[in-house]
Structure 1
Amino acid sequence: MTTIAHLHTEVINIILCDESVSFKDIMSLAFSCKKFYNLLTTDNALWRKKFYQRWPHLREEYDEQLRLENKGFLEQVKAGVKCKKELWHYLSLMSGEDFYNDNFDADFTIFHSLFDPDKGASFMNYYFFVNELRSLLTDPPMESDFILRYCAEKLFSYLQHYRLRKKVHEFLNYPEKQQILEKAAFILAQWYQPQKCMSYLYVSTSLQKIAEQVLERLKNKYPAHPIFSISEEQLLLWADNNIDDNHWNSIEGRQIIESLCIVLYNLGFRGTTFCKYWNRRYILEYSCIDCVLQDKIGTTVVMATIYHSVARRLGIRCDIIFHKLDMDYLLCWRAKYLFYNSHTTNLKEKECFCIDFRRNEQTVSTNYCPIINSAKYGINEYTKESPVKVMSYMNSDLYFETGNNEIRQSYLELRSLINQIHF
């Protein structure tokens, strides 16, 4: 009689990779005989597949941190299962009566040793706990688990902000060259949406795709542009670092900027203000870069961040400024920065242009490219705002434009954190 032991190894692997087969099923088979034990406990590809079946949202974080720990996926599966047991044990120990108290303030510090690498925990534990809590909160509630869910919500929010405080601290202590604006915008979006499953990879990939569309337009219109001789290494360097000056002369830079504006306009990106949208849902959507990249409408400071981040990937330096007369944000660009104060006779290198996101149709071209000579704003000279200052602007916008207490509390905490570290 043919049994599973007679099947080819590849066939067994295909069966075990099915989503209906659990970790317990595989280990039960492994302990059935020495052959299966040796086969299944050393098959890293199998356990990698099962790992991402169980924790699909961990792929980005795990792949990013893989080099830090030399462990196979079976070890990671065991760690994940252990974290799940520890989490449920911790939740079960908490007093149910406290959850009916509006002033509930559990001491979550005793939980730190289970997820904080500074306390000896594996870096993956945090992601295991967050994943389990998110699953609990997204499952349909049962009548008997309301208290447990309330506790899970509190713990989930605590874990998210605990880690985000560290991310803010790390960002503010980066050299300014590495304080790229999309990272600041992403941290802020996470801060105000702590229960949302977010990915910085989504933000960086979206910006890169826009940059590639700009390059495609440039190639069609200006096939001899020198950007096409730039190395891949240089493009990657621009993607990960702020730049001090433009890599191009005034004509080449203008061609890139105009192409960028036209591509983003044609994609449907539009700037807006809060005055017509006093609904909390819209305020968050228009202020969080992940939502703006998806829905194509955002506040002027987030729109400026997107333009700035794509331009940087193409060797263009732009600066975000707050225009006090208009009480709004503009993106400024000039042909050259480092030698701007020198006595150059090239007037084109002294030109300064603004991109005004509220005036997409009041443009200097027929292609809806919102580039306006800065002389119209009286700002031929300006002071560059630092990435941290722009982050503070983003935070302040949410505070002043909403009466929502939850948002205001988040604002005050983030403002305090920024001020403690940076100002």
Structure 2
Amino acid sequence: MEQLPVEIIENILTNPRISIEDIVHFSSTCHYFHEIVFSSNLVWKVKLFQRWPQLKNLLEIRHINFQHEVRYIYELRQKTRKMLEKMPPKFYKKYEISDSDLYEWNGILNEKDEAYNYLVMDLMDIVNTDVPINSIEVVPLNTPGNKTLQYYANKVLRYIRQLHLSKVWKNYISLPPERQILEIGAVFVAQWCQPNVEVTLEDITCRLDQIAWKVRHALQVSHPQHPLFQATPEELELWRIENKARNQWNVNECRQLIAVIREVLFEQMGFSGNNHAYFMPQNSFVNEVLDKRQGLPISLAIVFEAVARRLGLRCEPISFPAHFLLRFVESSDPDSDWYYIDVFNGGQIIRKGACPHSRFSGTRDLFPVATALQVVERMANNLEVSARQHAHPNGRITRLRSSLELLKLVNPKDISALVSLARLYMLHNMDTKPLEQFLLSQEFEVPEQAQRVVHMLRDYEAHHSRADAGLFDQVEAAQRSPNLSYAVGMVMRHQTLDYRGVVYDWDPVCLAAAEWQAQNHVEKLQLRDGQPFYNVLVEDGSHRYVAQENLVPTNDREAIYLNDDVGRHFSHFFETHYVPNAEKEKEYPADRQIRHWFHQQKKLESFNNL
């Protein structure tokens, strides 16, 4: 082997079947191989991109020491896991984690320019690992597939994503208006609200390019002489990245293009407004809209405008009080014909004077063109409404918090959003000091309102510091009472409402307020409030407080695993039940025996049914 030329050894080592760990082991066999391995930048560059292909665009053209970069990534992974391991004992009792609780992660982000991308990549690996854990006992937090590790990785991922996106937003709004294209704003919103989904501007841009090429192909069939086909690559690229002040074609050529865009988008590709689930947050995310080809008026309008712009057309976004349309002006002539395009309703053309959402008298100046900032703000408002109104409760608080913090970023003078955000922080025992400092640093048109919010926050902080004093105390073990039949981690079915849930907490008797008991007719139960009540995480994402007489054990866990809070309490599912994480086990140690007994009973039932 030592007689082989270095080039051949490098060629062998860059084989995709050879891992980074294999190379390290190979380098330790002798000084000669060690020297080759650690002096070959080519080998480390190839191995880095084989292991993490998503970094290729970031690093490929950089002149760096790739061996040092690989070492840094591995060291960062170790540091990340050590920091995550500290989080469960510290935040076990907190429903929402404040940004100030995560400031230590800023130290990693400040280490080097690439640290953000490396950290996101590592956290995404943790979150998306789907490895079954085959153990009936509590497992270490760093076990691959541990839902508690994923729960806290998601919290950190959200924090660092939004910290990074705050800088992205400032760069975006500092661009000249012609460079503030709408799909960039739409991608920003999608990234902000979906931190654990990889949404990239490159991918969304590519998909919009593909739709534009579909339109070009259809136009070539119906109007092969259209001057669009004479446009230079430089012109096409400029239309792709800039808002234009006017159309590039005459009136007839514009009409031909608009007709083909409508045919391709709404007839061939099936884009439509989502009337059945209007308030689903996915209707506002451009990646989901492109996937499902359904959305809100504003998200569909962004897709239509982006495609039209790539083809030399200018569609003006118009934000009506109860709708969002695109206005199309056929030429720069002040007397030129113009109309609205209703993208939510199949691209319907609405002529001037016929729009039910306007009171204009024939002039197109009554409703101004919406700026990119106004479009993003309206999307954020839609997401706030969605978080408040949509029936699906899974992650509702996190969605509401994200939408309000997005509004705070895009319109820091929206006092209504700031009040709502302050109330949400207080309701969930979060640190309000950064919000107070933010309010004091702003120049509000109505300073009295801001001052009232500051006073409210200061009053909360005075009480919160005392109430929070014992939050991180050692978890005390709960004592089971003889009337408790079930245990934390058991999967249950509600006997009358027929939903599934997993027990994560219990009380020997009902401890809910009298008002709650009256609303839920506890007095009509056979054992009323004197029986155990269980807190359960339900398959629809909600939390329920349920009487023991209404529950029965089941093997059917359905979609409980989709509940955002499963990882807060449990590390994994094992055969018949969820296994508590270390903190939950400390709180309910006696429940282990009950879980194991039920597990054995289920195993015997299965054996007897063979």
Give the CA deviation at 1:376: 2.0
Structure 1 gap segments, 5+ residues each:
341-346, 361-368
Q: State the alpha-carbon separation in 2 of the partners of residues 315 and 44 from structure 1.
A: 45
Q: Deviations over 1:261-307 (max 9, x none)?
A: 11112343433255x327x7xx1222100011111111111110001
Measured at CA, do residues 402 and 85 of structure 1 come closer, stay the same or move farther in structure 2, by a change above 3 Å?
Answer: closer
Label 1:197 to 1:17 Cα distance change in 2 as closer, same or farther (>3 A): same
Whether contact under 8 Å (2:185, 2:376) holds in the other structure is yes
Counterpart contact for 2:126–2:149, Cα < 8 Å = no
Match of 2:161 in 1: 160
Q: Is the 8 A contact 1:99 1:150 kept in 2?
A: no
SS state of the match for residue 385, structure 1? coil
Aligned to 2:341: 355
Structure 1 residue 220 corresponds to structure 2 residue 221: yes
Q: Deviations over 1:74-97 (max 9, x none)?
A: 332122122112222333445624
Task: Give the superposition deviation at 1:45.
Answer: 4.0
2:113 matches 1:123: yes
Instruction: Give the whole-Å Cα distance in 2 for the aligned partners of 1:90 and 1:332.
Output: 52
Residue in structure 1 matching 2:103, options 99, 109, 112: 109
**Would the aligned equivalents of 2:272 and 2:344 in 1 still touch at CA under 8 Å?**
yes
Partners in 2 of 1:417 and 1:137 — Cα distance?
A: 27
Determine the C-alpha separation between the residues in 1 that align with 2:59 and 2:349. Answer: 42
Separation (CA, whole Å) in 1 of partners of 2:155 and 2:232 = 48
Contact 1:304 1:320 in 2 (8 A): yes
2:327 matched residue in structure 1? 332
Query: Is the 8 Å Cα contact of residues 273 and 300 (structure 1) preserved in structure 2?
Result: no
**8 Å CA contact 1:137, 1:149 repeated in 2:** yes
- Equivalent position of 1:316 in the other structure: 313
- Paired residues of 2:326 and 2:341 also in contact (CA < 8 A): yes
Query: How far apart in 1 are the matches of 2:221 and 2:88?
Result: 66
Q: Who is 2:14 aligned against?
A: 17
Structure 1 stretch displaced more, 265-274 or 309-318: 265-274
> SS of 2:412's equivalent?
helix
Give 1:383's aligned amino acid: P
Which stretch of the first structure deviates more once superposed, 54-63 or 305-314? 54-63
Contact kept? 2:281, 2:387, Cα under 8 Å? no
1:256 paired to 2:262: no
For residues 262-411 of structure 1, the aligned pairs below 5 Å read: 262-273=263-274, 276-277=276-277, 283-324=280-321, 327-337=322-332, 339-340=333-334, 350-360=336-346, 370-377=348-355, 380-381=363-364, 382-403=367-388, 404-411=396-403
AA aligned to 1:412 is L
Answer whether contact 1:172 1:421 (CA < 8 A) is retained. Answer: no
In structure 2, give the amino acid aligned to 1:417: L
Q: Once superposed, what is the RMSD of the aligned Cα atoms?
A: 2.7
Alpha-carbon offset, residue 8 of structure 1: 6.4
Alignment check: 8 A CA contact 1:273 1:299 kept: yes
CA drift at 1:421: 8.6
What secondary structure, in the 3-state scheme, does the structure 2 residue paired with 1:306 have?
Answer: helix
Which one has a larger percent helix, Structure 1 or Structure 2? 1
Q: Aligned equivalents of 2:30 and 2:232: distance in 1?
A: 55
Distance 1:97 1:409, change over 3 A: closer
Give the corresponding residue for 2:63: 70
For 1:89, the equivalent position in structure 2 comes to 82
Tell me if the contact between 2:127 and 2:153 (Cα under 8 Å) persists in the aligned partners.
Answer: yes
Stretch deviating more after TM superposition (380-389 or 289-298) = 380-389
Q: 1:237 to 1:401 in 2, by over 3 A?
A: same
CA–CA distance in structure 2, aligned partners of residues 273 and 265 of structure 1: 13
Structure 1 distance, partners of 2:410, 2:45, is 39
* Alpha-carbon distance in 1 for matches of 2:3, 2:353: 81
After superposition, give the CA deviation of every residue in 1:369-388 in whole Å (9 maximum; x if it has no partner): 63343342256514111111
| Residue 46 of structure 1: how far off its partner (Å) | 3.1
Which has more radius of gyration? Answer: 2
Q: Quick one: structure 1 residues 147 and 262, their matched pair in 2 at CA, closer, same or farther if it must change by over 3 Å?
A: closer
Distance 1:335 1:225 in 2: 16
CA contact (8 A) 1:352 1:380 kept: no
Distance 2:59 2:92 in 1: 34
3-state SS in 2 of match to 1:194: coil
SS of 1:191's partner is: helix
Alpha carbons 1:169, 1:421 under 8 Å: kept: no
1:42 and 1:354, CA in 2 relative to 1: closer, same or farther beyond 3 A? farther
Residues 142-157 of structure 1 aligned to structure 2 (within 5 Å): 142=133, 143-144=138-139, 145=141, 147-157=148-158
Alignment partner of 1:412 is 2:404? yes
TM-score, normalising length from structure 2?
0.59
Query: Secondary structure of the residue that 2:313 maps to in structure 1?
Result: coil
CA distance in 2: counterparts of 1:99 and 1:83, whole angstroms: 25
Answering whether residue 125 of structure 2 is matched by residue 132 of structure 1, we say no
Could you give the per-residue CA deviations for residues 191-221 of structure 1, whole angstroms, max 9, x where no partner exists? 1111112222110000011111111222222
Cα distance in 1 for residues equivalent to 2:254 and 2:162:
40
Moved more, 285-294 or 101-110: 101-110
Which residue of 1 is the match for residue 447 of structure 2? none
Report the Cα distance in structure 1 between the residues aligned to 2:160 and 2:148, rounded to whole angstroms: 18
Q: Distance in 1 between matches of 2:317 and 2:58?
A: 31
Residues 274, 294 of structure 2: 8 Å contact kept:
no
Match of 1:195, SS state, is: coil
Taking the TM superposition and a 5 Å limit, the aligned residue runs for 1:30-45 are 30-33=27-30, 35-37=32-34, 39-45=36-42
Contact 2:327 2:341 in 1 (8 A): yes
The answer to whether the Cα contact below 8 Å between 1:134 and 1:195 also exists between their aligned partners in 2 is: yes
Q: CA offsets, 1:40-62, max 9 Å, x none?
A: 34544432331123223333444
User: CA contact under 8 A between 1:161 and 1:191: conserved in structure 2?
Assistant: yes
C-alpha displacement at 1:148, in angstroms? 3.8
2:50 aligned partner: 53
With 297-306 and 33-42 compared, the bigger mean Cα shift is at 33-42
CA contact (8 A) 2:127 2:196 kept: no
